[in-house]
Amino acid sequence: MPDRHTLAETEQATRERVQHLPLDFAASHALLSLYRAANAVRGHLTNNVLRPHDLTWTGFLVLWTLWIWDSMETRDIAESVGISKGTLTGVAKTLASRELIERIPSTADRRLVNLKLSPAGVELMEEIYPEFNKTESRIVGDLDARELDTMTSALRTLVETSEQS
Amino acid sequence: MPDRHTLAETEQATRERVQHLPLDFAASHALLSLYRAANAVRGHLTNNVLRPHDLTWTGFLVLWTLWIWDSMETRDIAESVGISKGTLTGVAKTLASRELIERIPSTADRRLVNLKLSPAGVELMEEIYPEFNKTESRIVGDLDARELDTMTSALRTLVETSEQS
DNA sequence: TCCAAGTCGTTTGGATCCGAACAGTAACGC
DNA sequence: GCGTTACTGTTCGGATCCAAACGACTTGGA
């Protein structure tokens, strides 16, 4: 056995290390798994689907959000994608320079800027997303419907719990 | 209703947008929830527990890994934490400059470098981790034991599935 | 009307991260 | 021996990210 440790081995070693402390192991291992899973999935999708199209993970999420919701104010996009306003400014600049999105200043409130997919952006999403989704489907393919459902709703609970503060 | 969209609203809008395409919605929403949950949890723990101690998320994970496993070769640490070798070099340099870890070159194979927690590092972990874990426990507190268990094992399955490739 | 407070997107500075290129070291076949 | 191959940790360039500061703009009460 090499020094590479599986999640299960890490769990066991953790118990031995901090046995004397009153800790919530279930919580710790759940969130460690959460972080590792998100990283692994993100990396896999980025390398196998997004990189060939020269798209960033964040960039793709922005495009996808705009695709679903048509047009949005930048503050809402940032909140929806889960990045800061400042980060979105840079990402939007990159996407706009590739003419995948359009910047539409609001006339009612001149502080606001709306973003919108360009025709080329729509075309790109209609090409990429089926492929992206096929990979997503393969990733969760080892879970049965009940597991997937429970996991999804549990994750949503975590989002709500940890975002309010 | 403002333009802030919940995960449930996003799910509904997605269905309407791509109704005509043969897509795996369950997979898509599961992974969207996964990514959002990981981000929310990481942000919450970083801001509320780690930042007061001037620790990075990645830095904490490295310290935690060394705490659990005593001493490790850098390649295994990077793989365990889920970062590249190059990133670990920088993080280790930062932690070493704060004298939280020690670099121990291997005598048997002079390419290898082992990292090890310093006494100060051990002290820091014993101070921080109970606090960290208490927050973790609170985050998953809205889930019952069955949900938490199913979620954790499902996440482990995702790690295994998406890391092999 | 006017100004103080709030909100918007942007900019800035610094930290983090990855992937590729790199030099040093080990292992193995011939 | 000795060169080829593989593998280590490091370095480098570029992209991403956040938090804080900022200017532009709107709002609402005095």
Chain A stretch 20-39, residues whose beta carbon is closer than 8 A to a beta carbon of chain B: 21-24, 26-31, 33-39
Q: What is the pLDDT of residues B83-115, one digit of tens each?
A: 999 999 999 999 999 999 999 999 999 999 999
On the question of pLDDT at B28 being above 80, the answer is yes
Question: What value does the mean pLDDT take over residues B34-49?
Answer: 92
CB nearest A143 (choices: B18, B33, B157): B157
Spanning CA of A110 to C1' of C2, the rounded length in angstroms is: 21
Chain A stretch 89-108, residues whose beta carbon is closer than 8 A to a beta carbon of chain B: none
- How much is the mean pLDDT over chain B? 88
> Residue B28 belongs to what H/E stretch?
helix B25-45
Strand nucleotide closest to residue A106 (CA to C1'): C8
Beta strand segments in B7-153, E: 71-73, 101-105, 113-117
Per-residue pLDDT of chain A (165 residues; tens, 9 = 90+): 334 577 777 777 777 777 777 788 889 889 989 999 999 999 999 999 999 999 999 999 999 999 988 888 999 999 989 899 999 999 999 999 999 999 999 999 999 999 999 999 999 999 999 999 999 999 999 999 999 999 999 999 999 888 775
Confidence band for B22, pLDDT divided at 50, 70 and 90 = confident
On the question of pLDDT at B44 being above 70, the answer is yes
CB A132 within 8 A of CB A49: yes
Q: Does domain A38-141 have CATH number 3.30.1330.40?
A: no
Residues in Cβ contact with B42 at an 8 Å cutoff, skipping those fewer than 6 apart: A35, B57
Q: How much is the pLDDT for A2?
A: 37
User: Which of B56, B102, B104, B64 has the alpha carbon at shortest distance from B81?
Assistant: B64
CB B83 within 8 A of CB A35: no
> Residue A103 belongs to what H/E stretch?
strand A101-105
Q: How much is the pLDDT for B162?
A: 86
Q: How far is B103 from chain A (nearest CA, A)?
A: 18
Q: How much is the pLDDT for B2?
A: 38
Confidence band for B20, pLDDT divided at 50, 70 and 90 = confident
Question: What value does the mean pLDDT take over residues B14-25?
Answer: 76
On the question of pLDDT at B129 being above 80, the answer is yes
**What residue spans define the domains of chain A?**
38-141
Which backbone phi and psi does B74 adopt, to 5 degrees? -60, -40
Which backbone phi and psi does A28 adopt, to 5 degrees? -60, -45
Q: What share of chain B is helix, strand, coil (3-state, %, to 5)?
A: 70, 10, 20
Taking the C-alpha atoms of residue B135 and residue B129, their distance in angstroms, rounded to an integer, is: 10
Taking the C-alpha atoms of residue A139 and residue A143, their distance in angstroms, rounded to an integer, is: 9
Segment A86-89 long-range contacts (CB within 8 Å, at least 24 positions apart) = A87/A58, A88/A62
Q: How much is the pLDDT for A165?
A: 59
Q: What is the DSSP letter of B47?
A: I
For A77, counting Cβ atoms within 10 Å of its Cβ (0-12 exposed, 13-18 middle, 19+ buried), the class is buried
- The class (CATH top level) of B48-138 is mainly alpha
> Residue B35 belongs to what H/E stretch?
helix B25-45
Q: How far is A105 from chain B (nearest CA, A)?
A: 17
Structure tokens at B120: 């100060």
CB A78 within 8 A of CB A88: yes
Q: Give pTM, 2 decimals.
A: 0.85
Taking the C-alpha atoms of residue A145 and residue A118, their distance in angstroms, rounded to an integer, is: 36
B52 CB neighbours strand D below 7 A: no
Which backbone phi and psi does A41 adopt, to 5 degrees? -65, -45
Burial B25-43 (b: 16+ CB within 10 A, else e): ebbbbbbbbbbbbbbbbbe
